[in-house]
Amino acid sequence: MLFFRGPMPALFIFKILLLPATVVAQQPLTLTEAETLALGDEPGYAALLERAEALGEQAVAAGQLPDPKMRIGLANYPISSGGFSTEGMTQAQLAFRQDFPSGKSRESSTEKFMSLSLGLGASADARARDVKASVRNAWLEAYYWQRAHQIVTESRPFFADLSTVTRSLYSVGRKTQHDVLRAELELSRLDDRLIEINRRHNESRAALSEWLGEDASRPIAESLPAWKYVPALETLHANLGSHPVLVAADARITASDANVVVAEEEKKPGWALDLGYGYREGYLPSGEPRSDFISVSVTMDLPFFSKDRQDRSLAAALRERSASKYEKAELERRLSSLLDAEYARWQDLSRRVALFESVILDLSESQAQAALLAYQSEAGDFADVMRGYIDDLNTRLDHVRLQVERGQSYAVLANLGGLSQ
């Protein structure tokens, strides 16, 4: 710790003034920035993209012919007499084989891996949507508890002043002890409420830190985003068909189709081409050098026992394709039901927010002020004053909660219907 005797040096003060603003106060964290930060360092999203790229590489590899095989050998070498040139059929052989898979199995395998790659790419897009929705919920929850703390903190001085005034009036006999105790009780309840709000605020920050790390400690922006217009339910249902989860399901069905083709092609014979060259030494009885040999052959698979192998593989591929279609149908039904429910919730919350802002907030404030004026003119009861201002405080908190829930509902609709912020 530094201690200064006398006035603080001017140079030291000047250096403090030159410090970056971030040292004094952190910049508010907006919702858009929170989403960007979360997606920029999200391992699940990155992992899906990497797997999609890996399957794309496999798709290229699956379309290629197998590597050719080379064989080097010595054929018909005499054991008893020895010597490379003593027997006419002794030869040094060099042979190559190229296998050709059956039918269009290579093309179908390529299509299968490409479909799986596209499916994982769509799954990555779905993951990005889920991350944005989760970050929006966490950010909005943190916003609510930060705003609730501000509202209650701003209201506390009024309740403290009311308690002080009531105590003073009681001392001169103008108010009852009941009024004093009621004022002190409500002030203590307000302090207890602040403690609970601080706890919930810290919990919301911890939930946000899962996505943002240290940036979650920054103050939340003071205002909510202006949510864009939500189109009609029919439009959202039309957009639902292009949801990444369903695109990924379509890709799995396409991959299953290709897998069926691969299984069908395996019932056809594969074949291989062999080409060999045989080198010989020595001479014929006529005195001419022995001629070298060239050999060409074709080898084919004979799928005689397909009943318990190829047929079983085909049956399994068909069942996998059927299962993929059932899974997509189940996803469509579940997402459609979720969209219907969330759209109804969005409409209800929008109506309630509008009612609060057009009627309830003003009436609540007017009622509290009227109760205070009546009490000051000794025409009203102290309990009505406390009840009026506590109701007004709760009304303002309810308004913020409705705004937050409306934003969370929009996050779900944005996820399902592909809406932007």
* pLDDT tens readout for residues 386-395: 889 999 999 9
Q: Is the pLDDT of residue 365 over 90?
A: yes
Domains of the chain by residue range: 27-65+120-268+320-417
Top-ranked range on mean pLDDT: pick from 150-154, 166-170, 373-377, 380-384: 150-154
Is this model's pTM higher than 0.85 or not?
A: no
Report the range of poorest mean pLDDT among 121-135, 217-231, 288-302, 373-387.
Answer: 373-387
Q: How far is CA 169 from CA 29, 164, 166, 175, 371, in A?
A: 46, 9, 5, 5, 18
User: Could you tell me which of 400, 414, 330, 336 has the C-alpha nearest to residue 131?
Assistant: 414
Q: Kindly report the number of other CB atoms within 10 A of residue 230's CB atom.
A: 18
Q: In what order do the strands lie in the sheet with 271-279?
A: 69-75, 91-100, 271-279, 293-300
Cα separation of 282 and 344, whole Å? Answer: 95
Q: Cα separation of 89 and 167, whole Å?
A: 125
Asked if the model's pLDDT at residue 421 lies above 70, the reply is: no
Q: What is the pLDDT of residue 302?
A: 82
Residue 383: alpha-carbon gap to chain centroid: 51
Q: Which of 417, 240, 242 is closest to 346 using CA atoms?
A: 417
Burial of 212 (0-12, 13-18, 19+ CB in 10 A): buried
Give 396-415 pLDDT, tens digit per residue: 999 999 999 999 999 999 99
Contact residues for 180 (Cβ-Cβ < 8 A; gap 6+) = 163, 166, 167, 170
**Dihedral sign for Cα atoms in the order 410, 144, 223, 350:** positive
State how far the Cα of 146 lies from the Cα of 28, in Å rounded to an integer.
12
What are the C-alpha distances in Å from 235 to residues 122, 275, 340? 21, 64, 12
Q: What is the pLDDT of residue 15?
A: 38
Beta bridge partners of 283: 289
pLDDT at 305: 75
| Rg of the chain, C-alpha, whole Å | 40
| Torsion angle in degrees (nearest 10) through CA of 362, 364, 365, 368 | 150
The angle formed by the CA atoms of residues 184, 185 and 189, to the nearest 5 degrees, is: 115
Which pair of structure tokens corresponds to residue 355?
A: 């009612």
List pLDDT tens digits, range 119-134.
999 999 999 999 999 9
Token reading at 166: 């009531």
Return d(Cα 211, Cα 130) in angstroms, integer. Answer: 12
* C-alpha closest to that of 120 among 182, 46, 176, 180: 46
- If one looks up domain 27-65+120-268+320-417 in CATH, what number appears? 1.20.1600.10
Name the phi and psi angles at 269, rounded to 5.
-75, 135
